[in-house]
Homo-oligomer: A and B are copies of this chain.
Amino acid sequence: MSERLSRAEQVFPALIWLKNYNQHIFKADLLSSLIVIAMLVPQAMAYAMLAGLPPVMGLYASVIPMILYAIFGGSPTLSIGPVAIISMMTFATLSPLFELGSPVYIQAACLLALMVGIISLLLGLFRFGFLIQLISHPVIKSFIIASALLIALGQLKFIFNIPLQSNNAIEFLESFIQYFSYIHFASLALGLFAILFLIYLPKIMQHPKIKFRFKGHQFISRAVPLILVVLSIITVFYFHLQNIGIKTVGEIPSGFPSLSMPFWNLDLVFKLLPGATMIAMISFVESLSIAQATALQQRSHLNSNQELIALGISNISAGLSSAFPVTGSLSRTVVNADAGAKTPMAGVLSSLFIVIVSLYFTGFFKDLPLAVLAATIMVSIWKLVDFKSFSETWKYSKVDGIAMWITFLGVVCIDISTGLIIGIISTFILLLWNISRPHIAVIGLVEGTQHFRNIERHQVKTDPHILSIRIDESLTFLNTHTLKDFLINEVSKKKELQHVIINCSSISSIDLSALEMLEEFDIELTKLHIKLHLSEVKGPVMDKLKQSNWINHMNGFIYLTHYQAIQQLSKKEK
């Protein structure tokens, strides 16, 4: 797909793959869609519950958004729909404003999806896709770990069957201590069984000694959550477990909602705006990084602005079809790709299956125990809690490690959105802090070569009349004073000094503050009969310097190489 795309293909990437669509591709897509659907049904219902919404809304969220992404999106395998982190953020946004599960809450969830969609669409149309880079890897990793932890904690309320708070770990602990004595042991037993089932069944099936050697093995291992769901429904139904206090999903309306605008007014929009913005950002980060992971394999064009537009349209449709915010799901996308999906048609097919489920099988899920659904969430989300990455990050870079801890503590101790914002801001501050502490070295000639090295690390030749300095950072207002202090101190040390040469090989730009510092410093040096020179100035920096006055008035010279500078300046003395 390296040829140039037509205008229509840029707007509707679906046109690219539809051109060559055939029976073989369809078979591959159909197979993978069946595998994905086995994961999608329990996930969709569980994530709706996580967002504080009726499980059926998870099904709604898996249909139209997926179909629209297939038309507008660039990734062939990305599976769009309900996702744990986004559902958690939806819950965090709505729960402080409205009563959980009330009609207003549900309407607000739809409105939130609509707003997330509009924000994403606008960002994409105005080409703000680059904004994704504002969030660094350590922050996003730490955010995911901390959110997963909060999500797992939050599910304990269904397993213990007590009203636990889970906006942050402190609230959780407080409410846990308060309701500790009310733990419902039948629910707990069921939940624990479900967790063990989900963890160990796939392991047993993959154990080398007990190898299941039939064709559908991979499919069954992925369908474990679905098997559990079906088994638990049957158990509840036959043994009337509701009678011993096991809570279930309850009556689910069948049929499929018609498109409708959710209730809105300006006041509500303003209340939801911060949450919607955060959700739009995170859903974009998640979705794009998942899509990128598979993009190179297909040598496909993946345009971040087009992805924002596709995600925006998907979320708008979610808002209009009684669903809640959606994004690309890591687990389902990986399974989809592994199962051999070739085009987004696989996604379209899986959403058609969901329609069938919504129309004819919702009654079946009435007896699904909440503790089992919570267990599926806990097991799938726990894979994201990777504490090892804290120590690995810390080992590579203290700055990145600090950002990770700040984000983690922010999310766990305050709340999911505040923690994310604090984490993002901390990375900016740490980056600026790093820029303000550039590496500056006095350099000398390595004898017998034309190379210059730090005089403190290497044995080098220096001249008492010449001070050579190298700075390993672009010059900005943030490091101007550091450089000036350094220069003043070095100059004050050397009584016989006649020349100062700054090696500019690592300087990619010089801002006005730095330029004026150099200019002032040159004037001061001139009064002391010392000349300031530059060497190895890069092309773009030189272009800029030519725009300034200083370059015409400076007393020193600009040398192509540092070696040349030293040679000429030592010669002059003799």
Contact = CB atoms under 8 A, between A and B. Distances in A.
Contacts of A431: 432, 435, 476, 478
A492 B2 contact: yes
B299 A492 contact: yes
Contact of A135 (B477, B521, B525): B477
Per DSSP, are chain A's interface residues mostly helix, strand or loop, or mixed? helix
Contacts of A515: 396
Interface in A263-311: 292-293, 295-297, 299, 301-302, 304
Nearest to A138: B512
B436 A428 contact: no
B130 A481 contact: yes
Nearest to A476: B431
Nearest to A399: B511
A467 to B, nearest CB: 14
Nearest to A505: B505
A481 B133 contact: yes
A211 interface: no
Contacts of A547: 395-396
B512 A400 contact: yes
A217 interface: no
Chain A interface size, under 10 / 10 to 19 / 20 to 34 / 35 or more: 35 or more
Contacts of A436: 130, 133
Contact of A136 (B302, B396, B477): B477
Interface stretch (A45-53, A410-418, A483-491): A483-491
A511 B296 contact: no
Given A2-B493, A524-B297, A304 B488 contact: no
A386 interface: no
| Residue of A297, A428, A513 contacting most chain B CB atoms (<10 Å) | A513
Contacts of A478: 133-134, 431
A397 B297 CA distance: 41
B296 A525 contact: yes
Interface string A511-528: 111011100110011011
Given A396-B544, A527-B297, A538 B472 contact: yes
B432 A428 contact: yes
The oligomer's copy count stands at: 2
A479 interface: yes
A415 B136 CA distance: 35
A27 interface: no
Contacts of A528: 296-297, 299
Interface centre among A295, A512, A524 (most CB of B within 10 A): A512
A482 interface: yes
Nearest to A140: B513
Contact of A292 (B477, B484, B509, B512): B484
Contacts of A435: 431
A393 interface: yes
Nearest to A434: B509
A495 interface: yes
A137 interface: yes
Nearest to A538: B472
B292 A516 contact: no
A459 interface: no
A396 B508 contact: no
Contact of A520 (B293, B397, B472, B491): B293
Contacts of A484: 292
A304 B133 contact: no
Contacts of A295: 488
Given A439-B508, A477-B135, A396 B548 contact: yes
A132 interface: yes
B133 A477 contact: yes
A508 B439 CA distance: 9
A448 interface: no
Contacts of A474: 473
Interface hub of A296, A297, A299, A428 (most chain B Cβ within 10 A) = A296
A480 interface: yes
A213 B117 CA distance: 79
B432 A508 contact: no
Nearest to A134: B478
Contacts of A297: 524, 527-528
Contacts of A137: 477, 480, 512-513, 516-517
Given A133-B480, A137-B517, A397-B511, 7 more contacts: A130-B436, A135-B477, A137-B480, A296-B521, A396-B512, A431-B476, A472-B538
Interface of A: 1-2, 130, 132-138, 292-293, 295-297, 299, 301-302, 304, 393, 395-397, 399-400, 427-428, 431-432, 434-436, 438-439, 472-474, 476-482, 484-485, 488-489, 491-493, 495, 505-506, 508-509, 511-513, 515-517, 520-521, 524-525, 527-528, 538, 540, 544, 547-548
7 contacts: A130-B482, A132-B481, A296-B491, A400-B513, A428-B428, A431-B478, A438-B508
10 nearest CB pairs, A to B: A136-B477, A137-B513, A296-B524, A400-B512, A472-B508, A133-B481, A136-B513, A299-B492, A2-B492, A396-B547
